[in-house]
Amino acid sequence: MRLHTLTLHPLQIPFKTRFKHSSAERTLTQSVLVAARTDSGCLGLGEGCPREYVTAESIASAERFFATHRDDLINTVHSITDLRQWIQSHAATIEQNPAAWCAIELALLDALAKDQHQSIEYLLDLPELSGPFHYTAVLGDGPLETLTRQVQQYAALGFRDFKVKISGDPSLDNAKYVVLHAAVKAPRVRLDANNLWSTPDQVLAYLDAISINPCALEEPLQALDHTGLNTLAAQQPAKLILDESFLSQTHFAPIEHRPESFIINLRISKMGGLLRSLTIVRMAAQRKIPLIIGAQVGETSILTRAALCIANICGDALIGQEGAFGTLLLERDITDQPLTFGKNGLLATDLLTSSAYGLQMAYALKNLPALQGE
Ligand SMILES: [Mg+2]
């Protein structure tokens, strides 16, 4: 493959409804889109979601990272082997810019696979997708009326798996749990605190004060407080889901002595792309640590599709998938057929264009004004 151009564009797609959790509230996507055009006429697209409170990245830092490395990538990467070598020789800078790299890597993988008339799975030596894939309902930390409406919509679709973004106020959150249990029989509930508390004792007090026993609790303490997380794990039975506290393979070490207490929320963007995510999956399997394949709020079908590569190989280690909101949340997606869950939270892979290569999606260029006239 020879790259003709490589470009990065901020991607701001409005949401149909606002989404709130304890670290942020947003009404439009905060993402970057990378387009890789080959001399042979293929277009590869990649997406990343820089977040200050997850990986200390921003749109501006992604633009700087991209500008620094664009020419080198165009001149160096002609094959999957070249790409793997580039990642190895730039590990330290990718570690600092994982979402920016994710957008670039996905665009290059999509372009490489298309150039060679392969699916992304074939290119990466992975099994072809064999869904369906099963998604969790995610409830934001909004007003009770909004949550009630969302719960009813999810219940009507047959969802049983819920993740609730909590406020930390037991009386407010108990009202949410009442609504959820009234609408859904025996729901499986995990809670996401988005780094609400500073000490294990504060978390224990909250767990004592709420009316449910969650099967897992995500990010109760400050991000990367692994000492606190290990203390908390020893003091109560709910498994702890690591999201902001698990950003790369270096974060296996602090949870090594009680892996049975933890679950990793693997989001392709924060992990720095597909190849680094595959390494995490393999290392987690060796340690018998289960995974949730998560999503950033506002991901388009590009990141949803990329995550399917990973979910497809996790087997029993996969205990939940999040995302695939497509045009349920976004005013528009950038593919002809958005990858969106349906009844019972299932996503069928027949939404993909089996005759297309790469990420197997037909892009609607009318939804990509930045790329028109390039
Ligand atoms: Mg989270």
Task: With cut-offs at 50, 70 and 90, classify the pLDDT of residue 17.
Answer: confident
Q: How far is CA 317 from the centre of its chain?
A: 17
The alpha carbon of 194 and the centre of ligand 1 are apart by a number of angstroms equal to: 6
Checking if the pLDDT of 373 tops 70, the result is no
The alpha carbon of 181 and the centre of ligand 1 are apart by a number of angstroms equal to: 22
Query: Which pLDDT value is given to residue 19?
Result: 74
The alpha carbon of 110 and the centre of ligand 1 are apart by a number of angstroms equal to: 27
Beta-carbon-side half-sphere exposure of residue 258 (alpha carbons within 13 Å): 14
The alpha carbon of 167 and the centre of ligand 1 are apart by a number of angstroms equal to: 13
The alpha carbon of 265 and the centre of ligand 1 are apart by a number of angstroms equal to: 7
The alpha carbon of 81 and the centre of ligand 1 are apart by a number of angstroms equal to: 33
pTM above 0.85, yes or no: yes
Range scoring the smallest mean pLDDT among 18-27, 252-261, 333-342: 18-27
Query: Which pLDDT value is given to residue 28?
Result: 86
Checking if the pLDDT of 184 tops 80, the result is yes
The alpha carbon of 8 and the centre of ligand 1 are apart by a number of angstroms equal to: 26
**pLDDT (tens digit per residue) in 77-93:** 999 999 999 999 999 99
* Cβ neighbours for 249, distance < 8 A, ≥ 6 positions apart: 276, 279, 280, 283
The alpha carbon of 316 and the centre of ligand 1 are apart by a number of angstroms equal to: 21
**pLDDT (tens digit per residue) in 102-152:** 999 999 999 999 999 999 999 999 999 998 899 999 998 989 999 999 999
The alpha carbon of 191 and the centre of ligand 1 are apart by a number of angstroms equal to: 9
The alpha carbon of 73 and the centre of ligand 1 are apart by a number of angstroms equal to: 32
Task: With cut-offs at 50, 70 and 90, classify the pLDDT of residue 364.
Answer: confident
Checking if the pLDDT of 331 tops 60, the result is yes
Query: Which pLDDT value is given to residue 21?
Result: 74
The alpha carbon of 243 and the centre of ligand 1 are apart by a number of angstroms equal to: 5
What residue ranges do the domains of the chain occupy? 3-124, 133-351
Query: Which pLDDT value is given to residue 279?
Result: 97
Is the domain defined by 3-124 classed in CATH 3.60.60.10? no
The alpha carbon of 119 and the centre of ligand 1 are apart by a number of angstroms equal to: 30
Beta-carbon-side half-sphere exposure of residue 227 (alpha carbons within 13 Å): 2
What does the longest C-alpha to C-alpha distance in the chain come to? Answer: 62
The residues facing 7 across adjacent strands are: 35
**pLDDT (tens digit per residue) in 257-281:** 999 999 999 999 999 999 999 999 9
Query: Which pLDDT value is given to residue 372?
Result: 65
Q: DSSP string of 178-215?
A: HHHHHHSSS-EEEEE-SS--SSHHHHHHHHHHSSS--S
The alpha carbon of 219 and the centre of ligand 1 are apart by a number of angstroms equal to: 7
The alpha carbon of 267 and the centre of ligand 1 are apart by a number of angstroms equal to: 9
**pLDDT (tens digit per residue) in 146-166:** 999 999 999 999 999 999 999
Residue type, 372: Q
Checking if the pLDDT of 351 tops 80, the result is no
Percent pLDDT > 90 in the chain is 81
Helix (H, G, I), strand (E, B) or coil at 253: helix
Closest Cα to residue 273, out of 242, 307, 296, 241?
307
**pLDDT (tens digit per residue) in 189-244:** 999 999 999 999 999 999 999 999 999 999 999 999 999 999 999 999 999 999 99
The alpha carbon of 197 and the centre of ligand 1 are apart by a number of angstroms equal to: 14
CATH of domain 133-351: 3.20.20.120
The alpha carbon of 365 and the centre of ligand 1 are apart by a number of angstroms equal to: 31
The alpha carbon of 244 and the centre of ligand 1 are apart by a number of angstroms equal to: 7
Instruction: Give the mean pLDDT of 287-301.
Output: 94
CB-CB neighbours of 317 under 10 Å: 15
The alpha carbon of 56 and the centre of ligand 1 are apart by a number of angstroms equal to: 15
